[in-house]
Amino acid sequence: MVAFCYWDGSSHRRDFKTKKGTTIAQFLQKALDLFRKEFLELKLATVENLMFIKEDLIIPHFYTFQDFIKTRQMGKTGPLWQFESVGEIRVRQDAALDVGESHPVKVVLRSWYEKNKHIYPASRWEPFVPGKVYKRTIDDLNTI
């Protein structure tokens, strides 16, 4: 089960099941089909017009969920995905560990991002780089 939301400055949350081998592009197409009925700005949008944001990382469309599960890829606050019975581990300001629900994936129109990338939360988003070790910065800790 993947929790996700259409992000247009506020969160419109949904959940649906997807297979581990599903690509980000395939996931975005399903999300687009779901949200298109509700949001006029998505009527003419295509997958190429959408961005997939997880843990403040912009994930390219060609990756699969399995790519991140197999490598146990970490984001800024914990694992990007962990499909196990126990929730994901979250890092809190007091350095304690919290086990709970992860942040939902944000599905964002690229045009919205371009207009708002200087404003929080979009100002924190950065492209995913394979092999990079993501660590919290002092600025990140102030937002928890």
The total number of structural domains in the chain stands at 1
Q: What is the pLDDT of residues 52-94, one digit of tens each?
A: 998 889 999 999 988 888 888 888 777 777 655 334 434 444 4
How many CB atoms neighbour CB 136 within 10 A? 13
What are 86's two structure tokens?
Answer: 């126990």
Burial of 53 (0-12, 13-18, 19+ CB in 10 A): buried
Mean pLDDT of the chain: 80
Q: What is the pLDDT of residues 33-59, one digit of tens each?
A: 999 989 999 999 999 999 999 888 999
Q: What is the CATH number of the domain that holds 96?
A: 3.10.20
Does the pLDDT value for residue 126 go beyond 80? yes
Q: What is the pTM of this model?
A: 0.78
Instruction: State residue 79's pLDDT score.
Output: 76
Q: Which domain holds residue 128?
A: 2-142
Cα distances from 135 to residues 41, 79, 98, in angstroms, run: 35, 12, 17
DSSP-derived 3-state class of residue 142: helix
Q: Which helix (H) or strand (E) holds 71?
A: helix 65-71
